[in-house]
Amino acid sequence: MSDADGRREIPRILSSRWDRKDGYTLDGYRATGGYQGLRAALRMTPAKVAEEVTTATLLGRGGAGFPAGVKWGFCPPGVFPRYVVVNGDESEPGTYKDRIIMESDPHLLIEGTLIACYAIGASQAFLYVRGEMALAQERIAQALNDAYDAGFIGRNILDSDFSVDVILHWGAGAYIVGEETALIESLEGNRGMPRLKPPYFPAAKGLYMQPTVVNNVETLANLPWIVSNSGQAFADLGAERSRGTRLFAVSGHVENPGVFEVEFGTTTFRELLYSDAYAGGIRHGYDLKAFIPGGASAPWFFQEHLDLPLETNVVGAAGSMLGSGAIVVMDETTDAVKAAWRIVRFFARESCGKCTPCREGTSWLEKILRRMLDGAGRPEDLDKLLDICDNISPAITWPPRQTTICPLGPSAVSPIASAIVRFQDEFRAYCGGGEVTVAIGGKAYVPAPTATPTVGAPT
Amino acid sequence: MARLSPENVAIATDTIARYPRRRSALIPLCHLAQEQDGYLTEDAMEHIAELVGMTPAEVLGTASFYEMFKLDPVGDYVVNVCTNISCLLMGGEELLHDLERKLGIKAGSTTPDGRFTLEDVECIAACTEAPCLQVNYRYFHRVTHGEVSQLIDDLRAGNRDDVPRHGVLSRVRQVLPENRAGSVAPEVGVEPVWLSRNRTEDEEGAAR
């Protein structure tokens, strides 16, 4: 089957209930196949469920893109209890998809969470919703109450020997809590600061130092479909490492901003940004200046990247990332310095303060950029900005190196370094001249506006 | 200026029982206190410390990390305008300035009559609906100049039942019924039955 553009029709794994008025209720959910994935899972062994997820090559949808099946496998054998923690602390600038799932289809998330608990052997799950999302909390609270009453959660679920509690928990405003070890700290009643690594994965030592699987909302929402239709059916969609479908939020200077479910790995940025089925092109006929392919932490992309597919490895090889599926489009009217400053201000405000390079570095980057915008830029500022970047993330490479416990600091570096190099004249205009002499290590930052990146190049 | 009411102590006790460790309930309890008083008072933090077995300083230590906990009184309506990248591109700063003029205050402050607090906030996950704002954490999408002025007038006149007073988040509480599975403390190192039973089946399958 294919649509008018010749593109094959794809199943709506994640967004099928968004248009239904009652999609968020238990009745609406059950009327549209809800909780069939859980029933299917209970007919399989837990190991078989985990195997299906591994076969599906379900990459984590929170930002890091780590395969969910592999992550589950890091739970040390024989160590119990195990916990599942749902990361619903969506707050990467540009990202808007987990909130839609939580508000419009909360039972899908709950069903996915139950399947994960069954597979890894967790007896308790904590659903951590961002504090600012009052409606999502309401919808999930109601959905949990209804699901308990209907016997989908609790003791002996659907008359099986599977028993689990799902507890709604909510945060209180802190971007850094999206980092999984910070999320666990927060869930333990502490300041949300990332933990020192190793251990690298909470699956080894997480909540209360027990094996803990932390999965993103969108990641878990795929599980009912995968279990019902098989991991292979999921893997049949998409390309290379990027399988299944994925939600992308396209925001900024486009005619039709929105959240779109597309086939992962095959759809190109050009299709997503320009097709009338999706974002509908740059607003008012302006030209594209730059776009952020994966949330504020991602280095910027430009015209020459439009024909790249939304594929994890391809985008990584081209010097950026798909991150949290957040595409922010900037047209030619955008002030690159202003945009870079606003992103840096975010990281400066959200730095938890644990590591010096991030705490001090992001603040100084913000101050210098603010001073430039206020008309007091100096010729040495360009070099100074990049020197600070280099101190947070040595050699400013992609993927970034870290002097910090978590990637927040380097996340402030990559986008502004890419902006400074590409739009050097704009930065210079704010500084009364100036030259870049700091060496930049990543090939992504060498401006090559005429070159077309090779699609599908091996990494 | 108050400890938790008896009714809220009952909610707090129920909340604490959901977690294997009492202090995990700290953030939900701080929200409960803020729901009661509109902000997080010292008395409430002391009371919470007693309930979860921490010192008041530890409660303050955690609470002060999080943007949403207000340690001083705020307006009845906290208006959070997003000016992060997607909203910046679509007029978020102009929206903030409109509100500053309308309310006669700068972002980060409260009107003298105590009705409104205005904040310049980071991304609130409504990027495709920019520019956006929240009032007491209720969303308003693709806000125009005229709409925001009307919204403030309506709030001031008490015509917006959909926006509860500051501190109230979810108006639905999770209720754990009789058939709950029960919290599992980290000390209980028992393999769940559905796993051990199936592990045996798998191993036997492998042996066959």
ipTM of the complex: 0.96
B186 contacts on A by Cβ (under 8 Å):
81, 208-210
Per DSSP, the residues of B133-168 read EEETTEEE-S--HHHHHHHHHHHHTT--TTSPPTT-
Mean pLDDT along residues B98-111: 97
Residue A5: its pLDDT value, please?
56
* pLDDT reading at A457 higher than 50: no
A91 contacts on B by Cβ (under 8 Å):
122-125
The answer, for B206 touching chain A at a CB cutoff of 8 Å, is no
Residue B35: its pLDDT value, please?
97
A46:B195 CB<8 A: yes
Where b means 16+ CB within 10 Å and e means fewer, A385-401 reads: bbebbbbbbbebbbebb
Q: What is d(CA B186, CA B159) in angstroms, rounded to the nearest whole number?
A: 49
Label residue A432 by pLDDT band (50, 70, 90). Answer: confident
> In angstroms, what separates the C-alpha of A214 from chain B's closest C-alpha?
16
The answer, for B39 touching chain A at a CB cutoff of 8 Å, is no
* pLDDT reading at A125 higher than 50: yes
pTM > 0.90: yes or no: yes
- Angle (nearest 5°) at CA A134 between A133 and A135: 95
The answer, for B108 touching chain A at a CB cutoff of 8 Å, is no
Q: Which tens digits make up the pLDDT trace of A310-351? A: 999 999 999 999 999 999 999 999 999 999 999 999 999 999
- Residues of A numbered 238-267 whose beta carbons fall under 8 angstroms of chain B's beta carbons: which are they? 249-253, 257-259
- Residues of A numbered 404-443 whose beta carbons fall under 8 angstroms of chain B's beta carbons: which are they? none
A208:B21 CB<8 A: yes
B186:A81 CB<8 A: yes
Q: Which residue of A has its CA nearest to B137?
A: A132
Label residue A223 by pLDDT band (50, 70, 90). Answer: very high
Alpha-carbon distances of A109 from A222, B32, B53, rounded to whole Å: 8, 25, 33
Q: What is d(CA A446, CA B2) in angstroms, rounded to the nearest whole number?
A: 60
Q: Which tens digits make up the pLDDT trace of A252-276? A: 999 999 999 999 999 999 999 999 9
Q: Which residue of B has its CA nearest to A334?
A: B89
A91:B123 CB<8 A: yes
The answer, for B68 touching chain A at a CB cutoff of 8 Å, is yes
Mean pLDDT, chain B, rounded, equals: 94
Residue A421: its pLDDT value, please?
87
Q: Which tens digits make up the pLDDT trace of B171-205? A: 999 999 999 999 889 998 899 999 998 876 656 55
Mean pLDDT along residues A218-227: 98
A45:B129 CB<8 A: no
Mutate to test the interface with A, among B174, B175, B201 (most CBs of A within 10 A): B174
The answer, for A8 touching chain B at a CB cutoff of 8 Å, is no
Residue B56: its pLDDT value, please?
97
B202 contacts on A by Cβ (under 8 Å):
45, 47
Residue A415: its pLDDT value, please?
87
B84:A296 CB<8 A: yes
> In angstroms, what separates the C-alpha of A273 from chain B's closest C-alpha?
13
Q: Which of A68-72, A338-342, A450-454, B20-24 has the lowest mean pLDDT?
A: A450-454
B127:A173 CB<8 A: no
Percent of chain A residues past pLDDT 70, beyond the cut? 94
DSSP letter assigned to residue B117: E
Label residue A443 by pLDDT band (50, 70, 90). Answer: very low
Q: Which of A6-20, A65-79, A174-188, A328-342 has the lowest mean pLDDT?
A: A6-20
Mutate to test the interface with A, among B128, B173, B176 (most CBs of A within 10 A): B128
Per the structure block, which two tokens stand in for A233? 């059916």
Q: What is d(CA A33, CA A28) in angstroms, rounded to the nearest whole number?
A: 9
Q: Which tens digits make up the pLDDT trace of A352-410? A: 999 999 999 999 999 999 999 999 999 999 999 999 999 999 989 888 999 999 999 99
B177 contacts on A by Cβ (under 8 Å):
148-149, 154
* pLDDT reading at A52 higher than 70: yes
B125:A98 CB<8 A: yes
Counted across chains A and B, CB pairs separated by less than 8 A come out at 240
B65:A174 CB<8 A: yes
